[in-house]
Structure 1
Amino acid sequence: METLIVLFGAFTLTLLIIWLLTKRLELRFSGRVAMAIMLVFTAVGHFVFTKGMIMMIPFLLCPNMIVIFTGVIELIAAIGLLLPNTKVLTGKLLILFFILLFPANVYAAIHNINLRTADYTGEGVSYLWIRIPMQLLFIGWVYFSTTKQSKIKIVNQ
């Protein structure tokens, strides 16, 4: 849930700052900034809650390296979303990344893994009722904020 608070909070704050400075409503740019901030937030989790995240992927070889590597990928993606020349490619790769990570979330839910405490006191399968729509939101968010479409511009008259 914290990720949603970070995502929507950063989006709202970015929209507000841009609006106050330019009187423009930059939805896509604000979306990319918010996703980048959220990715930094979640990447930190890969380094702080490594043991719990390792428990989410016991079926893979070298789970410790994978957890660290995916945290680094999230940091690189955060930067890529903010660079005009890489935002589209980063968006496509990030959507693929979110799809590839989803089985680990399913595994964690089925096995009641609590990634923060690295034990089996997690929310269980009911967590998927939140996680599935959240994953779809992230994918849609990245798609919308990285595709080339006309900007929405509101001018104060």
Structure 2
Amino acid sequence: MVEIILIATFFLSLAVIRLTTRKWDFPRSGRIAMFAMLSFTALGHFMFPKGMAMMIPPFIPFRLPLVYITGLLEIAGGIGLLLPKFRKITAILLIIFFVIITPANIYAAMHHINLQTAAYDGNGPAYLWFRLPLQVFFIAWVWYFNLRKP
């Protein structure tokens, strides 16, 4: 679902920018799309906090507050990409963030965690065949539209 939001928002914003400025602005469309995707994923932190907390290994303290904090960080990251002054540092921090949250996705898959129902009936390890490449895609997206030298 998040990949659909990312791609659809990219093409929609690309078309709107083209219609309003008569120019193609791929980097700006990429940043708008990542903002939309991060805003959507942040919603999960507030809609399904118990399930999201279950994704974090038990040895990490304050799991529920951490879920709320990371939701806020996702929103801040999306906004930061839209602000030229903060774009590069935000991109670097988002890449680090995507790397840091990867173990939570692995843990959730290995323990069959269903974040929406806060139960142990999730997709399991097969989910990683989709999720891990998706994390790499998100990292590449942030790098390409924010840090790459044209």
TM-score (norm 1): 0.92
- For 2:72 and 2:65, the matched residues in 1 are separated by 11
Q: Which residue of structure 2 aligns with residue 48 of structure 1?
A: 47
Q: Which residue of structure 2 aligns with residue 79 of structure 1?
A: 79
Q: Which residue of structure 1 aligns with residue 33 of structure 2?
A: 34
Q: Deviations over 1:97-145 (max 9, x none)?
A: 0000000000000000000111011110000000011000000000011
Q: Which residue of structure 2 aligns with residue 136 of structure 1?
A: 136
Task: Return the structure number with greater helix share.
Answer: 2
- For 1:8 and 1:59, the matched residues in 2 are separated by 36
Task: Determine which structure has more spread, i.e. the larger CA radius of gyration.
Answer: 1
Equivalenced residue count is: 149
Residues 1:93 and 2:93 are matched in the alignment: yes
Structure 1's consecutive aligned runs of 4 or more residues displaced over 3 angstroms after TM superposition are none
Unaligned runs of 5+ in 2: none
Q: Which residue of structure 1 aligns with residue 115 of structure 2?
A: 115
User: Bigger relative contact order, structure 1 or 2, given CA contacts below 8 A and separation 6+?
Assistant: 1
Unaligned runs of 5+ in 1: 151-157
Offset at residue 23 of structure 1 (A): 2.1
**Which shows bigger deviation, 15-24 or 75-84?**
15-24
- For 1:59 and 1:4, the matched residues in 2 are separated by 31
